[in-house]
Amino acid sequence: MLLGQRLQRLRRRGLATLLWLGVNLYLIASLLFFLRGINAFAATSAVGGSSGLSYALGGQNPQWVAEKLAHRITRPTRAGETIAAPACHSPCATYPAVYSLDTSVVQATLEPGSTGTDAAGHAYYDPNMPRLCGPGAAANALFFWGGVGQWPKPTAWTDAANGITTAWSDQDSRASIMYLAWKTQPPGWPHAGMMDDHHLSSGVTLYNMRDALNWEASHENQDNWKDYFYTVVWWNQADPEIFHADVQDDLANAHVPVVAEVNARLLPTWSPDGPAVNHFITIVGYDDTAHVYYYTDTCGHSTGCGSTSDGGVHPIAQGVLWAAITAVHVNTSSAYNAGDGGFVW
C-alpha cells in the first residue's frame, strides 16, 4: 500500500507515462528505483581516480531499494545487541504523533573551527575544518548504531587534502568526526575518508554519506554493508509526505536519525543573509501536533562555522525543513563536487 502511495504521488508529479510501463510489482519497483535516481550505477567499475570516490562500488540492489522505499527494511541487529521495539509493524498504517531520540550525547557534537587550539594544546590553522558538516552529521547518526570508536585521549588526525595534522579526543565527538572525515574506507573507495582530497575540500556527497553510514553501521561487514540500511533519496523524486513517512519510519521504528542536505540559510539557527550554503544536518525527532522536526547541527557559532549556536537540538517547522532541502539543486553526478539534493535514510 505504501509503495502504491509513493507511486501515486510520483504520477501527480508528471511521470504517468513512465508509470504505465507495467503493473508487475517487480517492474514497478525497478522503475521507481530508476525514476528516483537512486544508485543508478549497478556495475562495480570504479568511477574516477584518486580525486574522487568509487561511488559505483557502493551501488545498491534495486530490489532491496524498492523494499526500503516501501518501508519493509527493518533495522539489522548483531548478536547480543538489544534495541527498543519498533513503534509499529512496517509498513505502518499509523506512526506515533511525537517521537524523538535520546540526544543527550549528540547535542554536544561540534566541528572544530578553522583556527584555534587542538585537544593536545597545539595551535593550528586548517581551513577545511568548517567544512566537516558531513562527517559531523554522520557521527551523530552513527552514535545510534554504537559509534565508530573511542578516543579518550588526544589522537593525531591528518587532513588528507593538505597534510595538516591536529589532535582530537572524544570531547564534542571530534575524534569521531576526524575518523569519518579522513580514515573510514568502505571497500572500493580509492582513498580513506568521506571528504574529497581536494584543497579546499568540497565536502561530502550524498553517495559517500550513504556508503559511510552503511559501512560503519554494519560494523564494517564485508558481506552486506552495501544494502545494510541506508539509501539516498533525491528530493525531486519525493514530496513532503514521502519525506515525512521516511523520517517517521527511521526514527520511530529503527530508532536512528535521517541525514538531510539543506541550504543552511533557511535554518532557524543560521543567518538568512549571504550566499546559499549546502549543509548536512541530522534529524532526530518530530512532533506532528506542533508540525515540527528536531535536528542537530554540528556547525558552531563559537568556531566561526556559520551557525548562530553551538550544538543543541533545534525545532524547525516541517514545511521550512522541506523548503531547505529542496533549495539545494539536485545533481546526481558521481563527481567529487556533486551528488547533491536529497536525504539519506
pLDDT reported for residue 3: 54
pLDDT reported for residue 82: 85
Nearest one of 53, 198, 201 to 132, comparing CA atoms:
201
Q: Is the separation of the CB atoms in 315 and 294 below 8 Å?
A: yes
Q: In whole angstroms, what is the distance from residue 138 CA to residue 124 CA? A: 24
All three cell numbers of 42, joined, read 549497478
How far does the chain reach from its first CA to its final CA, in angstroms? 20
* Number of independent structural domains in the chain: 1
**Domain contains 140:** yes
pLDDT reported for residue 166: 98
Spacing of C-alpha 272 from chain mean position: 23
pLDDT reported for residue 5: 57
Q: Is the separation of the CB atoms in 311 and 300 below 8 Å?
A: yes
Nearest one of 144, 99, 343, 90 to 257, comparing CA atoms:
144
pLDDT reported for residue 81: 82
**Domain contains 208:** yes
**Domain contains 100:** yes
pLDDT reported for residue 24: 44
Q: Domain residues for 255?
A: 36-344
**Domain contains 52:** yes
pLDDT reported for residue 234: 97
Q: Is the separation of the CB atoms in 196 and 53 below 8 Å?
A: yes
pLDDT reported for residue 7: 55
**Domain contains 30:** no
**Domain contains 54:** yes
Q: Mind giving me the DSSP string for 144-175?
A: TTT-S----S-EEEE-TTT--EEEE-SGGGHH
Q: In the chain, which stretches have pLDDT less than 50?
A: 10, 14-57
All three cell numbers of 326, joined, read 529542496
**Domain contains 121:** yes
Phi, psi of 115 (to 5 degrees): -140, 150
Phi, psi of 250 (to 5 degrees): -65, -40
**Domain contains 129:** yes
